[in-house]
Each structure stands twice: as C-alpha cells, then as structure tokens.
Structure 1
Amino acid sequence: MSKDRSMVKAPRTVLLAVVAAAAFALAGCGGGTPPSTFDLTAPARLPGAGGVRGTLVVAEPVAVAVLDGQRVVVKPDAGTVTYLPNAQWSDRLPKLVQSKIIEAYENSNRLRAVGRPGDRLSVDYQLVSELRAFEIDAATGQASVELTAKIVNDKTGKIVSGQVFSARRALAGPLDGPTATRALNEALAEVLARLVAWTGNGA
C-alpha cells in the first residue's frame, strides 16, 4: 500500500509559513495583557587609552520602517518578516541604539565629549549611521545586528572614515522575549565595542 509523500513530511516552506502565521495570530490575541518590555545595555568595560580626543555628536541611526519601532523583529526566512509576540523594546529601536552608542563612548573615555544633535557642544565630528539589521533569524536560531557608520568632520563636511559592523549570537534557549532580546543585546555589545575602538583608531 503506497503512502502520499506530501502527508508524511511537509515542505520546509510550508512549515515556515505556519510559523509566521502563528506569530501573527499570537501577536493579535494577547487580550488585555501588555507585552513584556526589554532594554538594551552598552558595554561597560572598553579600552580608553589613545584615540580621538575631540567632541563627537551621535545622530539617531537611520532605519527602514520594519526596524523603526518597538517590536522585536523575527525573520522565518529571507523574504518574510514577523514580530515576536508579547515582547517589545523600551523605546523606538533607533533611538534606543543611539543612546547605547553614546553610553559606550562615555564608558570608553576616548572623547572629550559626546552627545546628541542639539546638545550645547562645540562639535568636531559627527557619527552618521544606519541600522541595517536587528533581528532574529529563525532558520538559524541566531540574533543578527548590523550597523554602518561614517565619521564626518563637522568643520568641512567631509567623510573621514566609514565602516560596517556586524555580529551574530546564537539563541541560548527557546524563541521567546528574554532569550531573543538577550542574544540581540550581546550582538549589539560586540558591534558597539568594535565601533568605539574603530573611531578612536581611525577618526
């Protein structure tokens, strides 16, 4: 007696579609329960010797609409975007990342001063960045963070240097709010440590 192979093993694309549909369904059936809120942290121990001693203004990173919010992004595959149910960041992600970039520079003591646009600073350099990735890759079970950065001389408007920073961290547990945000936070910490070291050496 022959068996229908399609009933024995569902194609991987179908399974990913089911995961995506379940995520959307769960996101919409939370009732009156507010989602859990998670924060990011900047690396606390960074080398402080050498590097730039000027003043740096850190602009809010540019981000596409998918990343420009408080929801935690999950990608079941390269062409699908979903959000982790019952979890959110403590602020808009670009604004939150901006604050952690500033904090990382402050922790390193590499600069005379660091702040945001509009702060009362005599500016030497600007950091212009784009948040390209800040998501969970469900297919590989990894958190992925990617940030492009350019150092701009505030006096001349010329780009001094540019670099792309990326990091990945494996999920240390099930795909839920605490596990996903912890892995993303660890990947961001690596990106920020490399960003600060690069700025000090190259700008």
Structure 2
Amino acid sequence: MFPMKTRGAMSALLAATLLSGCVSIGAKPPMQLLTLDAAQKVPAGAARVAGDGRTLIVADPEAPRMLDTVRVPVQTSPTAVAYVTKIQWADTPRHLFRRLLAETISATTDRVVLDAGQFSGDGGQRLSGELVAFTVDAASHSAIVTYDAVLTTPAGVALARQRFTASAPIGGKIDSSTVGAPLNAAANKVAADVAAWVAAVKD
C-alpha cells in the first residue's frame, strides 16, 4: 500500500496527464500569416503640404461578419462558405484594405491622406464605404475584391458613391499557398481604381 500522501500525488499526476490529452492551452498558430502589399508606395522622404481642402480622411470600411475575421473565406456556392485552412490574415481584411487604400491614394494623387483618428484642419473630404467581398470564389477559381466607396464632405454630405470590383485568377488547387497573391492583386486593382476616382471627383 502507498502512503496517503504518495497516493494523493499519484492521483493528481494521473489526472493532469489525462487532462493534457484533451485540452489545448491556446489556439494552434497558423502556418502562414497573410498581409497586403501596396503596388504603389509613397517614396521615402516624400513631403506634401496640406491645404485648400486637399486632405482626405480614409476610414476603415464596414464589412459583413463573414469578412470581419482573420480567416480567408471561400464562397463554395451562393449560400455556403468555407475557410482556407493553415492560413490567416495578419489583421482583419477591412483594416488591411484601409491601409492599402491610404498608401495607394497617397502615392498616386495629390491628396494628403489622414486616418480617422487624425484631425483635418482645412476641412478635407472623407472616404468611407463597405468591403462587400474579399473572398475566394470556388466556381470561378479566382480571388474577388469588391468595395462600395462613398466620398463625403466634412459635413457628411455625399459627393459621390461607386462600387469597385476586381478579380484575379488562382492557379492550381485553392489552398494556403495559392490564395495570397491573387487576393493582393485584386485588392491593389480596386485601390488603384478608387484612387483615380477620388482624384477625379470635384467638390
């Protein structure tokens, strides 16, 4: 017979061993983290002076719950969605896309771009909207990005609104190694189109 203290210690050890087999502390990290890389970047050291209403506040777009996640959705049918395994976004797509928009607009227009937390003293415009699609479409084997843009005055009066969409083909099987580059390409195409639209809209 084991002494009482020894039996108690062995029971605790056995319970801990059994528990470790069915409980995982913390989520298993993904094999890869995806981000967006702007095709058009502001050169290092570039300076620009704000004035005459040329500032632009770029706000985080709204997004449906399906997209407001770090997982990469695959539209398998009009009513069904799956997610790519072993991969995640480094941040939610709407935050990543806002940064891509801001960088692209800064690099290709004369606007001084601010985020929503910065103050625009000259009464610049505001770019907001909704990220409608940021998905992989299984039927067309492509990445699709769709953004509904709204350009408003400082007082909140809409100057213009437009939907922008772009797609890029996915080569090979849809998995963690093939979806990143097409999504980045489609997002950059939308960002470039939005930047050109913003530059053309007059007060």
**Does the alignment pair 1:201 with 2:197?**
no
List aligned pairs for 1:10-29, cutoff 5 A: none
Shift of 1:110: 2.0
Deviates more, 1:88-97 or 1:37-46: 37-46
Is the Cα contact below 8 Å between 1:56 and 1:125 reproduced in 2? yes
Unaligned 5+ runs, structure 1? 1-30, 47-51
Shift of 1:57: 0.3
Matched residues in 1 for 2:113 and 2:63: separation?
22
- TM-score norm. by structure 1 comes to 0.76
- TM-score norm. by structure 2 comes to 0.76
Unaligned 5+ runs, structure 2? 1-26, 43-51
What's the CA shift string for 1:104-155, capped at 9, x where partnerless? 11211421x111112133241000110000101112201111000011010x
> Relative to structure 1, is the Cα distance of residues 152 and 33 closer, same or farther in structure 2, using a 3 angstrom cutoff?
closer
Is the Cα contact below 8 Å between 1:43 and 1:192 reproduced in 2? no
Shift of 1:182: 0.8
**Does the alignment pair 1:160 with 2:156?**
no
Q: Which residue of 1 aligns with 2:84?
A: 84
Greater percentage in helix? 1
Matched residues in 1 for 2:77 and 2:110: separation?
40
Matched residues in 2 for 1:76 and 1:128: separation?
29
Shift of 1:178: 3.0
**Does the alignment pair 1:55 with 2:55?**
yes
Query: What's the C-alpha RMSD, in Å, of the aligned pairs?
Result: 1.9
The AA in structure 2 aligned to 1:202 is: V
The structure with more radius of gyration: 2
Shift of 1:172: 2.0
Is the Cα contact below 8 Å between 2:166 and 2:189 reproduced in 1? yes
What's the CA shift string for 1:14-38, capped at 9, x where partnerless? xxxxxxxxxxxxxxxxx94533101
Q: Which residue of 1 aligns with 2:35?
A: 39
Count of residues in correspondence between the two structures: 166
The AA in structure 2 aligned to 1:131 is: L
Is the Cα contact below 8 Å between 1:75 and 1:82 reproduced in 2? yes
Is the Cα contact below 8 Å between 1:150 and 1:163 reproduced in 2? yes
Matched residues in 2 for 1:137 and 1:34: separation?
22
Q: Which residue of 1 aligns with 2:113?
A: 114
Q: Which residue of 2 aligns with 1:134?
A: 134
What SS class does the counterpart of residue 63 from structure 1 fall into?
coil
Q: Which residue of 2 aligns with 1:175?
A: 174
Matched residues in 2 for 1:94 and 1:67: separation?
8
Matched residues in 1 for 2:134 and 2:40: separation?
21
Structure 1 stretches of 4+ moved >6 Å: none
What SS class does the counterpart of residue 144 from structure 1 fall into?
strand
Is the Cα contact below 8 Å between 2:135 and 2:144 reproduced in 1? yes
What SS class does the counterpart of residue 86 from structure 2 fall into?
strand
**Does the alignment pair 1:66 with 2:66?**
yes
